[in-house]
A and B are shown apart, each in its own frame.
Chain A
Amino acid sequence: MAEQVSWVPDNVDTRLPSAARLYDYLLGGGHNFAADRALAEKFLLAQPNARTIARLNRAFLRRAVLHLADAGVRQFLDLGSGIPTVGNVHEIAQKAAPESRVVYVDYEDVAVAHSRMILEHDDRSAVLQEDMTDPDAVLAGVSRTGLIDFSEPVGVLTVGVFHFVPPERDPAGVVAAYRDAVVPGSYLALSQFTADLQPDEMAGIVAVMRNSANPMYPRGHAEITALFEGFDLVEPGVVPLPLWHPEDGSVDEDADRAGIFAGVGRKK
């Protein structure tokens, strides 16, 4: 470059694709690089229904937030929140109840940078750059925002994230740590990929993602249900995405090809 502009350092490696940007691409967003799109194409080869799955996951997130808002939850902790796109948690929650507060957590640079930008003028929301599998660090950060009152119920959202948590990070322990930090009456909404529905496609996805920044770990129905230890599962329990509280008049979706199980639990 002829004349290096001092205020523009190069620090993001655009050649290593990330899950956040892949998901953004699948949802039709523009915050992704060529490498992400190339990975997405492979992802789509392994699972042709991937765009639909992304849409269904995002739609589940919306229904879950509305369900929690309906149950009186006014503060949300969105773990693995991703790159802001349409229908972000604070938009949904604040539309339902304007006083709602949201703390977003993601560890990916682009996701965090964009979240910061759109939350610039929102004093009821904040974003933390942390690894959600380190609950101590996350919870300390959350306290510093002053947005969440831990004596009141909290909606903990881990939507489309746990399949990035390897077994050695102890998924059950991670969930338990957040559960123990919140009062009874708080909620957990969780969705994650499974091999139960389409084993071949899932194996393809795992292979595609193996060498990305975010390898994936599908889990079975029993294992996912077990993550809700200490919570009462809201009916109908852990089910394929479109089957969790479908809305009136909704379009028939193919649950067998939805790829992801989802559930909501209320802390006992």
Chain B
Amino acid sequence: MNGQSPPVRTRRQEIARTWMRAVYPTAYVPMSPTEIELYLLDLVDVIADAIQAEPFSVDPVEVVGDRLVEAHFTGPETLRRTVDVLGRALLFIPELQDVPQLAEKVVAILGSVSTSFATSMRLDAFDQQEAVKRALLEANRRTERVLKASEAQFSEVFDTSAFGIAITNLRGECVRANGALAEMTGLDHAALAGLRLIELFDPADVEAMVATYRAVGEGRVERVREQRRLLRDDGEPVWVHLAVSLLRDEDGAPAYHVTMVEDISELHLLQKNLDFQLLHDSLTGLSNRQRFITRLESLHSASRHGITLYCLDLDAFSVVNNGLGHAVGDRLLTEVGRRLEALVADEQALVARIGGDEFAILIDNSPDTPTVPEMVERISAAVEQPMVGGVALSASIGVVDRPPSGSDAADVLRAAGATLQRAKAKGKRQWLPYDRHVDQAFRERQSRAARMPGAVAGGEVEVEYQPVLDLAGRQQLGHIARLRWDELGHDDCLDLAEATGVSLALGQWALHEAAGDAASSDSLGLLYFELSPMQSRDEDLVRTVKRTLDDTGLPASRLRIFLDTRAMLDGDGEDNAQVLRDNGIEVGLTRFNGGQAELSLLGELPVDSLVLDPSVVRRLAEQPEAFLHDAMSRMVSLIRSSGVSVVVPDLSTADREAWWAQVEVDAAFGDHLAPPRPAYDLL
């Protein structure tokens, strides 16, 4: 804690301040704002240190809930706001940027904070209860003279207590019960009087309760505390904490039982709700991706007859969503979720919403589970039944049936996703099984990689041009060069080229092609060109670029070179940016994913634009609006305010376009806006 560098300290203080401001209005805490901030700063330290600790454990943060309750941060909104503030801050704070699996850890940490908060609230309530009981026992013990006053005092306490209190005789009949108990059970005082208290409890708990009363009555234990269910008058169960103790008469003989009852159902709900929120999709109530992967993992390794995974995507959902509005879209998604759940009600199965309009069904097969084609048929039928407003949807489905044990859960999900993509490529309402030969795909990639150098040399790889648009006015700013090799797109080509060591050659060739095409076509406008990592680091880069411009006659002002962000971080090609710039060529960064180190690059390099990493864009598209979106929109405005423009790649839907447009990025490209086209199409 003491070894923190000054910037780390400052950021933690900022979090403590934001936290203070968020919870200050939620509860009266007798401290000054500065004192509160310091109090919370300690807790921020505990949390931030825990997230970074190896091995990771949530245990250290248990004190956080206790400390909050201790200081009386106990308003109805306090916990929610705490989770909110911390969730955002932790995902965004620079010192944690490089922590592996940060999001998962943050979720785990917040879960633990919530649980300890709820537990502390309960114990705190118990302390109050003890005080009440003290007054009560006191009242019983006092002498005749003091008795009167004490009785009055007891009565106050008894009647005003927020806890239900019942005094029962040794036969278990209620001789007195207070208003709180009446309220909790929904019975009035008169109905409670004479009632056997035990009848108020869930039948399943009765036996244990009888034992409890006997143990206390016989003096074997002083008092018992336990958690039980009361049944309300209307049959609703109420979770309660009980404390049972014994009152003795003057001679010390057992006379009455005192039962204190605390309604913890609200806490229960809150706690359950929080766990629920962290693991479920807020719109449909289905499991979210996170929980799905966890369950997939455990089922996959434990399954006796193997698992089957169905990934489905609603065809043209964005059209519906845009045409009918988001409210309708939301209702459709909810309805689809409900139907899918109904569909597998008889199976050991889990349905999740794993992306915008992507659902997944995980089935732990039994001998009676329908076959895959039958299941697919049922899923399609369920989705195609008309819904609100008469809309009928269809789905594309990718299936992974009984993946070999030992394969990793994330891989299985990825395989299902890939299969789904292939199914979608075939058109609407298609399904495909994952071809079992996982190796085959892998081998295919290997053989492709082997063929790559030949393909480059043999002219099989082509350069295409995709329009770059300004989202606000839909104005065309220029074109970005994209590689294509048969059905392999730009990113795949680059990956393969990088892996096989031909990326430098490929990149130089592609730059030459593109510059030539741009020079001969003014309508192509500004040429955006992304360099591979290897190219970005190349010592000869500047010379290559200059020679290309000379050869093709493309003016430097029509070229924008994007250096690979990670290559720049490694530090090798830093000069390239400056020298290109000195030669009148605008320079940007590409595959920028917003890490702290990357952000600081913006200050160090003379760049005036950047292209975000496609995987970041995809991740945002897959997740419901949440921290990540918020973080991204703040990051974009931060970057733009420093004079660097932001380009979004791979815009896939109108939905996403709208979101990015409201974040006010400068430009975007993607198949949704306009697909890449070969040069002859443009000329």
- Shortest distance from the beta carbon of B208 to any chain A beta carbon, whole Å: 25
B72 touches A86 (CB 8 A): yes
Also in contact, A113 and B152, with CB within 8 A (given A3-B175, A12-B159, A251-B21): yes
B28 touches A59 (CB 8 A): yes
Residue of B21, B29, B128, B194 touching A2 (CB-CB under 8 A):
B194
Interface residues of A in 223-237 (CB under 8 A from B): none
Complex interface: chain A residues within 8 A of B605 (CB) = none
- Shortest distance from the beta carbon of A30 to any chain B beta carbon, whole Å: 3
- Shortest distance from the beta carbon of A101 to any chain B beta carbon, whole Å: 19
Residue of A5, A34, A58 touching B28 (CB-CB under 8 A):
A58
- Shortest distance from the beta carbon of B33 to any chain A beta carbon, whole Å: 4
Complex: how many Å from CA A30 to CA B125? Answer: 10
B28 touches A87 (CB 8 A): yes
Please tell me if A8 contacts chain B, counting CB pairs below 8 Å: yes
Complex interface: chain A residues within 8 A of B155 (CB) = 8-12
- Shortest distance from the beta carbon of A22 to any chain B beta carbon, whole Å: 13
Complex: how many Å from CA A256 to CA B137? Answer: 48
B135 touches A117 (CB 8 A): yes
Complex interface: chain B residues within 8 A of A9 (CB) = 151-152, 155
Also in contact, A249 and B34, with CB within 8 A (given A2-B194, A7-B140): yes
Please tell me if A145 contacts chain B, counting CB pairs below 8 Å: no
Please tell me if B147 contacts chain A, counting CB pairs below 8 Å: yes
Interface residues of A in 1-31 (CB under 8 A from B): 1-5, 7-12, 14, 21, 27-28, 30-31
B28 touches A33 (CB 8 A): no
Complex: how many Å from CA A118 to CA B155? Answer: 16
Also in contact, A31 and B160, with CB within 8 A (given A2-B173, A249-B33): yes
Please tell me if B32 contacts chain A, counting CB pairs below 8 Å: yes
Q: What is the number of residues of chain A that contact chain B, defined by CB distance less than 8 Å?
A: 44
Residue of B17, B29, B161 touching A30 (CB-CB under 8 A):
B161
B36 closest partner in A (C-beta) = A249
B21 touches A87 (CB 8 A): no
Complex interface: chain A residues within 8 A of B17 (CB) = 249
Complex: how many Å from CA A28 to CA B147? Answer: 31
A8 touches B156 (CB 8 A): no
Interface residues of B in 145-165 (CB under 8 A from A): 147, 150-162
Please tell me if A32 contacts chain B, counting CB pairs below 8 Å: yes
Contact with A along B32-62 (1 / 0, CB 8 A): 1110010000000000000000000000000
A87 closest partner in B (C-beta) = B30
Also in contact, A8 and B153, with CB within 8 A (given A27-B28, A58-B28): no
B131 touches A32 (CB 8 A): no
A63 closest partner in B (C-beta) = B32
A109 touches B156 (CB 8 A): yes
Please tell me if A42 contacts chain B, counting CB pairs below 8 Å: no
Q: Is the interface of A mostly helix, strand, loop or mixed?
A: loop
Complex interface: chain A residues within 8 A of B21 (CB) = 251
A8 touches B158 (CB 8 A): yes
B175 touches A247 (CB 8 A): no
Also in contact, A14 and B156, with CB within 8 A (given A7-B151, A8-B151, A248-B33): no
Complex interface: chain B residues within 8 A of A116 (CB) = 153
Complex interface: chain B residues within 8 A of A248 (CB) = 32-34
A33 touches B34 (CB 8 A): no
Please tell me if A219 contacts chain B, counting CB pairs below 8 Å: no
Complex: how many Å from CA A41 to CA B45? Answer: 40
Counting contact residues on chain B (CB < 8 A from A), the size range is: 35 or more
Complex: how many Å from CA A52 to CA B25? Answer: 7
Interface residues of A in 22-76 (CB under 8 A from B): 27-28, 30-34, 52, 54-55, 58-59, 62
Please tell me if B179 contacts chain A, counting CB pairs below 8 Å: yes
Please tell me if B238 contacts chain A, counting CB pairs below 8 Å: no
Complex interface: chain B residues within 8 A of A251 (CB) = 20-21, 24-25, 33
Interface residues of A in 98-135 (CB under 8 A from B): 109-110, 113-114, 116-118
Please tell me if A250 contacts chain B, counting CB pairs below 8 Å: yes
Also in contact, A117 and B175, with CB within 8 A (given A2-B194, A28-B27, A248-B32): no
Complex: how many Å from CA A3 to CA B75? Answer: 40
Please tell me if A92 contacts chain B, counting CB pairs below 8 Å: yes
Complex interface: chain A residues within 8 A of B140 (CB) = 7
Also in contact, A117 and B153, with CB within 8 A (given A110-B160, A251-B21, A251-B24): yes
B27 touches A117 (CB 8 A): no
Please tell me if A91 contacts chain B, counting CB pairs below 8 Å: yes
Complex: how many Å from CA A58 to CA B30? Answer: 8
Complex interface: chain A residues within 8 A of B363 (CB) = none
Please tell me if B139 contacts chain A, counting CB pairs below 8 Å: yes
Please tell me if B176 contacts chain A, counting CB pairs below 8 Å: yes
Complex interface: chain B residues within 8 A of A3 (CB) = 169, 173, 175
Complex: how many Å from CA A10 to CA B158? Answer: 10
Complex interface: chain B residues within 8 A of A58 (CB) = 28, 30
A92 touches B30 (CB 8 A): yes
Complex: how many Å from CA A128 to CA B402? Answer: 78
- Shortest distance from the beta carbon of A91 to any chain B beta carbon, whole Å: 7
B176 touches A30 (CB 8 A): no
Also in contact, A114 and B72, with CB within 8 A (given A9-B151, A52-B25, A247-B34): no
B20, B30, B32, B175 — most chain A CB neighbours (10 Å): B30
Complex: how many Å from CA A85 to CA B21? Answer: 22
B176 touches A114 (CB 8 A): no
A91 closest partner in B (C-beta) = B30
A114 touches B156 (CB 8 A): yes
Complex interface: chain A residues within 8 A of B33 (CB) = 247-251
A33 touches B30 (CB 8 A): no
Complex: how many Å from CA A114 to CA B21? Answer: 32
Complex: how many Å from CA A80 to CA B141? Answer: 31
Please tell me if B532 contacts chain A, counting CB pairs below 8 Å: no
Complex: how many Å from CA A11 to CA B27? Answer: 32
Complex: how many Å from CA A27 to CA B161? Answer: 16
Complex interface: chain A residues within 8 A of B460 (CB) = none
Complex interface: chain A residues within 8 A of B128 (CB) = 30
- Shortest distance from the beta carbon of B186 to any chain A beta carbon, whole Å: 12
A14 touches B28 (CB 8 A): no
Complex: how many Å from CA A172 to CA B169? Answer: 55
- Shortest distance from the beta carbon of B69 to any chain A beta carbon, whole Å: 11
Complex: how many Å from CA A118 to CA B134? Answer: 11
B154 touches A7 (CB 8 A): yes
10 A-B pairs in the complex with CB atoms less than 8 angstroms apart: A2-B174, A7-B140, A31-B160, A31-B162, A33-B179, A58-B30, A92-B30, A249-B33, A251-B25, A251-B33
Give the top 8 A-B pairs by smallest Cβ distance, nearest first: A87-B30, A30-B162, A113-B156, A249-B33, A247-B32, A2-B194, A55-B28, A3-B175
Other than A2-B174, A28-B28, give 19 A-B pairs with Cβ distance below 8 A.
A2-B169, A5-B167, A8-B158, A9-B155, A12-B156, A14-B179, A27-B28, A33-B160, A34-B183, A87-B30, A91-B30, A110-B156, A113-B157, A117-B131, A117-B135, A117-B157, A249-B17, A249-B32, A251-B24
A residues at B contact (CB < 8 Å): 1-5, 7-12, 14, 21, 27-28, 30-34, 52, 54-55, 58-59, 62, 85-87, 91-92, 109-110, 113-114, 116-118, 247-251, 253
